[in-house]
Structure 1
């Protein structure tokens, strides 16, 4: 069980969740997107949301600004969250624009708002769960997509509900967060997506 719970935290890491949401969107959207455009967007997002943050983390570690990839203290989260906010701004300005996909645009705007909220809490020395932010944000996005496109994705929604519980259990098991940090993280992930739904649903 210990290995399973540890695996959940790594497999469903916050870095990969936005890309997961985008892949699912392209697989279910009734809109036509040229295959080469989809591939270009996915490659760009993979570089910006996965590869670049890993490289920036390594740089921060070399500079002594973070001690481990788990970012155990609120202070250690400040620089990674600042850099991630800049990456997200680039994404909404250059990669995922409203003219390309209004749904994905507001999905990433929501992620940016969640990121900034988490950053502000970190500055105030509160460590909200980034895992829960990412998971609940994607979960809410999928719910909105099912309504927006009138598609039956109940299987995925059930999976996301189970995953949300599993991620929370994993973080508690690893003693990475308290209950309140998980709850605040879930709130920060869900609310921006829920509020921004009014702009595209």
Structure 2
């Protein structure tokens, strides 16, 4: 059981969740996009949200600024979160500007807001769960897509809820977070996406 719960934390690591949200959007939207455009956006996001953070992690580890991919202390989180802010801003300005795909633009604006809050809390020595921030953001975005497209995706929403519960259970079992840190993380991920719905629904 311990191995399964640890695997859940690894499989649903925060760095893959933005890409998951984008792939989910392209799989559910009734709007037509050329396949070349979809592939270009996805490849760009793989580079910026997965490969680049991994390279940054290994650089920071080499420099002794971090010791685990899970960023167990608030001190370890500050530089990666600050760099993630820059990466997310780059995505908003260059990869998914507001005049192209409005839903994904605001999805990443929400991610930017959540990252800023998480960084501020880290500066004040509070370790909100980044895992919960990530899954909660995608979960709320999926709810927004269901409302936006008037589409029944209850199965997908149930799956996201199940994943959120599994991730929370995993983090508690591994003693990576307290219940309060998990709740704060969920709220930090959920509410920016909720607040931004008014701009694209």
Scaled by the length of structure 1, the TM-score of the pair is 0.99
User: What pairs with 1:1-201 in structure 2 (closer than 5 Å)?
Assistant: 1-201=1-201
Structure 1 vs Structure 2 CA RMSD? 0.6
CA distance in 1, matches of 2:63, 2:161: 39
For structure 1, list consecutive stretches of 5 or more residues without a partner in the other structure. Answer: none
SS of the residue corresponding to residue 97 of structure 2 reads: coil
SS of the residue corresponding to residue 15 of structure 1 reads: helix
Question: Offset of 1:4 from its aligned partner?
Answer: 1.2
Question: Offset of 1:63 from its aligned partner?
Answer: 1.2
Q: Residue deviations 1:129-175, cap 9 Å, x none?
A: 00000000000000000000011101000001111111000000010
Question: Offset of 1:62 from its aligned partner?
Answer: 1.1
Q: What is the number of equivalent residue pairs in this alignment?
A: 201
Point out 4+ residue stretches in structure 1 off by more than 3 angstroms.
none
CA distance in 2, matches of 1:69, 1:161: 24
Question: Offset of 1:65 from its aligned partner?
Answer: 0.9
Question: Offset of 1:71 from its aligned partner?
Answer: 1.0
CA distance in 1, matches of 2:189, 2:40: 27
Question: Offset of 1:17 from its aligned partner?
Answer: 0.6
Question: Offset of 1:36 from its aligned partner?
Answer: 0.3
Question: Offset of 1:3 from its aligned partner?
Answer: 1.3
Scaled by the length of structure 2, the TM-score of the pair is 0.99
